[in-house]
């Protein structure tokens, strides 16, 4: 065989070490003279040796050093009887040993065995991959390399590394130091692998920015809200602690989305997150928020996902609020419900109607257009002009009807609980608040056509202002606006100290505080039906884009908490005040190491954290389980559960894939033979102990 000059030195190795290893492992005789390689022996031995050196020459021609380990791996891969089939599908030793994953400072990470290459290829091809095999087979190291590669290629925006800390029974309180000092020994292998692949100086910055998260499994699920926190469902608000799997909540597109998982969290430190428009909710420090900065928006970058604690102390940038929150992309889709009165007519009456019940219902307006619209929306009612701005709503009587029949408007107001209310006690009935978008918008238009209006500002888009003296009506308007995808700011003008108004030439003192609501609605949502207000609003360019920013995050004590997972594509759900938040990990590369020490429940909890654009790699060795006696490993049962699920792959590694000291493979094989010949069950999985020792433990407890 002629060896190219450029590949000769790489093929021979330092001091001909690689050549000597090849001679030891091959039955054929090997002679090198110049750049000519001569093989002699039986035809079968020579043919096998020729294939080995062909692969090694290909490896050397690709500029790689042919190490003694590469020679051993090549001989092992070609000698197992399946080499021809593997060569046909592109799994020759040269292809395996030259697949570069990551390079840093002259060090290249690549698979060293056929099974390792298949494992790496599976990570590229599947969303969830289980790497199962003995210690030293590169399961975690290669997964880490693929994670860093995906982060550098911007395929994901964060890496999450986790492992169970069962070596201390997850009861770390007796250890000295802070939480991270206590869990650090159990996460140290992950840190060590990171230091091999990323500049050590940049790792603390990446962790502080949330780009890399390293945490024990017990804390992976701690993205929660207090059990009393309200979550929006198609039928209204419900405490999150009452939700069950299969229940429906509202997603960011306003549509119902099912709950896929409910995970109690126990007692946790709670924070109140408040937006600049006054909307707020409670959550734990690890709770997830989808946010973006002004820089992200200018550069058209995607939204990022941050934990609550990552944003604390970092909420301002040059005196401006840093983190923008997403708003509903479409109005909330509540189911249609029957209403006793046209929604636009109700909005008009809530604004300028007299609902006391002491007299016939009436309406006051300086816009005859509204009186006409009110009459058209109330069948069986005649809107009769009384004087100046006053109109009376009379029932239209048919011939022969008695006069004592109830006015339809009065009957509808009575049914809604509005009869007898005054300007400071009016409210939007619940049946209208949680109804279709068309119903809610019509109520809001009626309110804005009477007591609201467009406010134009020079060189700015038009905002909308609404005023009321009723706290309940104030809250109803805010909810209507938010449920349609808008935002509303509320301020109070106290009655005390205000300059009296003038009516009929005399001073009239203010008796009630006034609530002024400045609101913005998203494009496509028309706030007015009254012609003059609508034309003014549109002439000013509409209302612009509603925006909501995080204003402050404050401690709020401790409380029992729970987290949920929803099926929405962006994993967002609507919580209090129509804030959008979520618990699922999107666009992340997540590695669960030492998975043999998870329980089946923990494994399910972890896998259901999968978000869109994310990838999960689970690694473990089922022969080294540290769980308490009698506890089944989640890694041993997950294959039976997910073995037939598409896009889930199980990669099996063995002692032949060990890349540590050669003795490690022999140790693994020796233990496997001992386990196979030993009929006794594993002591860790045996029944609980009995006898004097157990009695002494019981007495101590």
Q: What is the pLDDT of residue 135?
A: 82
* Topology, domain 224-327+548-581: Endonuclease - Pi-scei; Chain A, domain 1 (2.170.16)
Q: What is the pLDDT of residue 72?
A: 77
> Average pLDDT for residues 109-114, to the nearest whole number?
80
> Average pLDDT for residues 149-169, to the nearest whole number?
76
Q: 650 falls in which pLDDT band (50, 70, 90)?
A: very high
Asked if residues 550 and 278 have their Cβ atoms less than 8 Å apart, the reply is no
Mean pLDDT lowest for which of 147-156, 216-225, 511-520, 682-691?
682-691
Q: 450 falls in which pLDDT band (50, 70, 90)?
A: very high
Distance between CA atoms of residues 37 and 16, nearest Å: 13
User: Which residues have C-beta within 8 Å of that of residue 124, sequence separation ≥ 6?
Assistant: 146
Q: 682 falls in which pLDDT band (50, 70, 90)?
A: very low
Asked if residues 290 and 575 have their Cβ atoms less than 8 Å apart, the reply is no
Angle CA(581)–CA(582)–CA(586) in degrees, nearest 5? 125
Angle CA(587)–CA(248)–CA(611) in degrees, nearest 5? 10
- Residues across the chain: 701
Percent of residues, the chain, with pLDDT higher than 70 = 84
Strand residue runs (E) in 73-149: 102-104, 107-109, 128-132
Asked if residues 292 and 304 have their Cβ atoms less than 8 Å apart, the reply is yes
What would the two tokens of residue 158 be?
């964060």
Q: Which of 143-152, 216-225, 377-386, 473-482 has the highest mean pLDDT?
A: 473-482
The yes-or-no verdict on residue 283 having pLDDT over 60 is yes
Distance between CA atoms of residues 652 and 670, nearest Å: 19
> Average pLDDT for residues 594-622, to the nearest whole number?
84
Nearest to 163 by CA among 602, 536, 676: 602
Percent of residues, the chain, with pLDDT higher than 90 = 38
Asked if residues 239 and 586 have their Cβ atoms less than 8 Å apart, the reply is no
Q: What is the pLDDT of residue 177?
A: 47
Strands 230-233 and 236-239 come out as antiparallel
**Helix axis angle, 343-352 relative to 408-416, nearest 10°?**
90
Q: 418 falls in which pLDDT band (50, 70, 90)?
A: very high
What would the two tokens of residue 591 be?
């590695």
Strand residue runs (E) in 400-546: 452-457, 460-468, 487-493, 501-503, 506-508, 514-520
SS3 109: strand
The yes-or-no verdict on residue 448 having pLDDT over 90 is yes
Mean pLDDT lowest for which of 242-256, 580-594, 679-693?
679-693
> Average pLDDT for residues 426-433, to the nearest whole number?
96
In b/e form, how buried is each residue of 597-616, taking b as 16+ CB within 10 angstroms? bbbbebbbbbbebbbeebbb
Q: What is the pLDDT of residue 32?
A: 80
pLDDT in tens, 617-643: 999 988 888 887 778 889 989 988 998
Q: 694 falls in which pLDDT band (50, 70, 90)?
A: very low
The yes-or-no verdict on residue 427 having pLDDT over 80 is yes
Q: 696 falls in which pLDDT band (50, 70, 90)?
A: very low
Q: 528 falls in which pLDDT band (50, 70, 90)?
A: very high
Nearest to 624 by CA among 673, 680, 675: 675
104-209+598-701: CATH, from 3.40.50.300, 1.10.1060.10, 2.120.10.30, 1.10.287.3510: 3.40.50.300
Q: 106 falls in which pLDDT band (50, 70, 90)?
A: low
Distance between CA atoms of residues 582 and 573, nearest Å: 6
State how far the alpha carbon of 395 is from the alpha carbons of 354, 361, 403, 470, 688, in Å.
16, 10, 9, 28, 82
SS3 312: coil
Pick the residue with more confidence: 77 or 311?
311
SS3 314: coil
State how far the alpha carbon of 460 is from the alpha carbons of 294, 539, 556, in Å.
19, 12, 38
Q: What is the pLDDT of residue 665?
A: 66
Q: 94 falls in which pLDDT band (50, 70, 90)?
A: low
What would the two tokens of residue 518 be?
């400045």
Q: In CATH terms, are 104-209+598-701 and 343-539 the same topology?
A: no
Distance between CA atoms of residues 581 and 307, nearest Å: 11
Pick the residue with more confidence: 392 or 96?
392
Q: What is the pLDDT of residue 503?
A: 78
Strands 580-581 and 128-132 come out as unpaired
> Average pLDDT for residues 69-89, to the nearest whole number?
65
The yes-or-no verdict on residue 684 having pLDDT over 60 is no
Q: 1 falls in which pLDDT band (50, 70, 90)?
A: confident
Q: 170 falls in which pLDDT band (50, 70, 90)?
A: very low
Numbers of helices and strands, H then E, in the chain: 24, 34
The full 3-state SS of 230-262, as one line of letters, equals EEEECCEEEEHHHCCCCCEEECCCCCEEEEEEE
How far is residue 692 CA from its own chain's centroid? 51
Element (H, E) at 437: helix 437-451
Q: What is the pLDDT of residue 688?
A: 42
Place of tokens 């080995």: 52
What would the two tokens of residue 482 be?
């938010």
Pick the residue with more confidence: 552 or 94?
552
Q: 185 falls in which pLDDT band (50, 70, 90)?
A: low
Distance between CA atoms of residues 380 and 367, nearest Å: 22
Burial grade of 226 (CB within 10 A; 0-12, 13-18, 19 or more): buried
Distance between CA atoms of residues 657 and 698, nearest Å: 45
Q: What is the pLDDT of residue 78?
A: 76
All structural domains of the chain with their residue ranges? 1-98, 104-209+598-701, 224-327+548-581, 343-539
The yes-or-no verdict on residue 455 having pLDDT over 80 is yes
Q: What is the pLDDT of residue 583?
A: 66
In b/e form, how buried is each residue of 376-392, taking b as 16+ CB within 10 angstroms? ebbeebebeeeeeeebb
Asked if residues 279 and 576 have their Cβ atoms less than 8 Å apart, the reply is yes
The yes-or-no verdict on residue 172 having pLDDT over 80 is no
> Average pLDDT for residues 663-689, to the nearest whole number?
60
Q: 244 falls in which pLDDT band (50, 70, 90)?
A: very high
SS3 667: helix
What would the two tokens of residue 467 be?
């005023």
The yes-or-no verdict on residue 173 having pLDDT over 60 is no
CA dihedral 113, 115, 119, 122 (to 10 degrees): 120
**What phi and psi values does residue 245 have, to the nearest 5 degrees?**
-60, 130
> Average pLDDT for residues 441-450, to the nearest whole number?
97
User: Which residues have C-beta within 8 Å of that of residue 644, sequence separation ≥ 6?
Assistant: none
Distance between CA atoms of residues 468 and 492, nearest Å: 10
Q: What is the pLDDT of residue 400?
A: 64
> Average pLDDT for residues 64-80, to the nearest whole number?
74
Residue 684 per-residue DSSP state: G
Q: What is the pLDDT of residue 571?
A: 78
Handedness of CA 50, 53, 59, 63 (dihedral sign): negative
The yes-or-no verdict on residue 614 having pLDDT over 60 is yes
Q: 194 falls in which pLDDT band (50, 70, 90)?
A: confident
pLDDT in tens, 558-587: 999 988 888 887 778 999 999 998 766 667
* Topology, domain 1-98: Ribosomal Protein S8; Chain: A, domain 1 (3.30.1370)
State how far the alpha carbon of 16 is from the alpha carbons of 36, 73, 74, 100, in Å.
15, 17, 17, 25
**What is 343-539's CATH superfamily?**
Homing endonucleases (3.10.28.10)
Q: What is the pLDDT of residue 184?
A: 56
Q: 687 falls in which pLDDT band (50, 70, 90)?
A: very low
Element (H, E) at 317: strand 316-317
Rg (CA), the chain: 36
Pick the residue with more confidence: 692 or 362?
362
Q: What is the pLDDT of residue 178?
A: 46
Asked if residues 122 and 645 have their Cβ atoms less than 8 Å apart, the reply is no
Mean pLDDT of the residues in the chain:
83
Nearest to 529 by CA among 464, 441, 467, 460: 441
What would the two tokens of residue 323 be?
């983190």
């Amino acid at each position: 065989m002629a060896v190219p000059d450029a590949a000769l030195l790489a093929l021979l190795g330092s001091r001909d070490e690689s050549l000597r290893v090849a001679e030891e492992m091959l039955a054929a005789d090997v002679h090198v003279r110049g750049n000519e390689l001569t093989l002699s022996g039986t035809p079968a031995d020579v043919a096998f040796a020729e294939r080995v050196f062909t692969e090694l020459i290909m490896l050397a021609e690709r500029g790689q050093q042919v190490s003694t380990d590469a020679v051993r791996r090549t001989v092992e891969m070609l000698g197992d009887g399946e080499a021809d089939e593997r060569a046909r599908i592109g799994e020759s030793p040269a292809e395996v040993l030259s697949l570069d994953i990551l390079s840093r400072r002259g060090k290249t990470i690549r698979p060293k065995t056929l099974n390792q290459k298949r494992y790496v290829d599976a990570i590229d091809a599947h969303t969830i991959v289980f790497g199962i095999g003995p210690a030293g087979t590169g399961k975690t190291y290669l997964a880490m390399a693929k994670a860093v590669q995906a982060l550098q290629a911007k395929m994901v925006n964060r890496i999450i590394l986790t492992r169970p800390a069962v070596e201390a029974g997850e009861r770390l309180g007796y250890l000295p130091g802070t939480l991270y000092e206590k869990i650090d020994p159990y996460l140290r292998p992950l840190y060590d692998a990171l230091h091999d692949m990323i500049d050590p100086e940049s790792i603390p910055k990446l962790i502080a920015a949330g780009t890399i998260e390293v945490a024990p499994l017990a804390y992976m699920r701690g993205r929660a809200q207090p059990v009393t926190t309200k979550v929006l469902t198609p039928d209204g608000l419900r405490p999150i602690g009452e939700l069950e799997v299969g229940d429906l909540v509202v997603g960011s597109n306003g549509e119902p989305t099912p709950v896929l998982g409910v995970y109690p969290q126990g007692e946790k430190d709670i924070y109140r997150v408040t937006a600049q428009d006054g909307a707020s909710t409670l959550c734990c420090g690890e709770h997830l928020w989808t946010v973006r900065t002004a820089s992200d928006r200018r550069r058209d970058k995607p939204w990022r996902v941050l934990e609550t604690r990552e944003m604390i102390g970092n909420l301002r940038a040059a005196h401006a609020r840093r983190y923008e929150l997403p708003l509903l992309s479409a109005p909330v889709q509540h189911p249609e419900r029957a209403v006793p009165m046209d929604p636009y007519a109700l909005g008009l009456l809530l604004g300028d109607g007299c609902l006391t019940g002491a007299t016939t219902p009436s309406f006051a307006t300086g816009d005859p257009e509204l009186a006409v619209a009110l009459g058209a929306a109330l069948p069986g009612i005649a809107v009769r002009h009384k004087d100046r701005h006053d109109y009376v709503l009379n029932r239209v009587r048919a011939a022969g009807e008695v006069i004592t029949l109830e006015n339809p408007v009065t009957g509808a107001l009575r049914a809604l609980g509005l009869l007898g209310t005054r300007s400071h006690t009016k409210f939007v009935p619940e049946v209208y608040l949680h109804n279709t978008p068309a119903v809610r918008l019509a109520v809001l238009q009626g309110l804005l056509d009477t007591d609201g209006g467009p406010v134009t500002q020079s060189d700015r888009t038009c905002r909308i202002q609404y005023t009321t003296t009723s706290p309940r009506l104030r809250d109803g308007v805010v909810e209507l606006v938010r449920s349609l995808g808008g935002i509303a700011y509320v301020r109070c003008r106290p009655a005390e100290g205000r300059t009296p108004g003038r009516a009929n030439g005399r001073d009239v003192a203010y008796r009630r505080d006034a609530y002024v609501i400045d609101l913005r609605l998203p494009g496509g949502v028309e706030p007015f039906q009254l012609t003059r207000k609508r034309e003014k609003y549109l002439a000013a360019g509409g209302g612009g884009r509603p925006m909501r920013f995080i204003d402050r995050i404050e401690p709020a004590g401790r409380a029992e908490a729970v987290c949920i997972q929803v099926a929405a594509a962006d994993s967002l759900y609507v919580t209090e005040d129509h804030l959008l938040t979520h618990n699922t990990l999107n666009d992340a590369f997540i590695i669960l190491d030492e998975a043999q020490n998870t329980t089946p429940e923990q494994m399910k909890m972890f896998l259901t954290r999968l978000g869109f654009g994310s990838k999960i790699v689970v690694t473990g060795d089922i022969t080294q389980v540290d769980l308490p006696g009698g506890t089944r490993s989640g890694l041993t049962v997950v294959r039976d559960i997910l073995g037939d699920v598409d896009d889930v792959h199980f990669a099996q590694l063995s002692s032949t894939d060990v890349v540590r000291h050669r003795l490690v493979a022999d140790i693994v094989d020796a233990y496997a033979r001992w386990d196979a010949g030993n009929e006794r069950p594993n002591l860790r999985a045996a029944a609980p102990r009995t006898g004097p020792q157990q009695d002494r433990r019981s007495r101590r407890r």
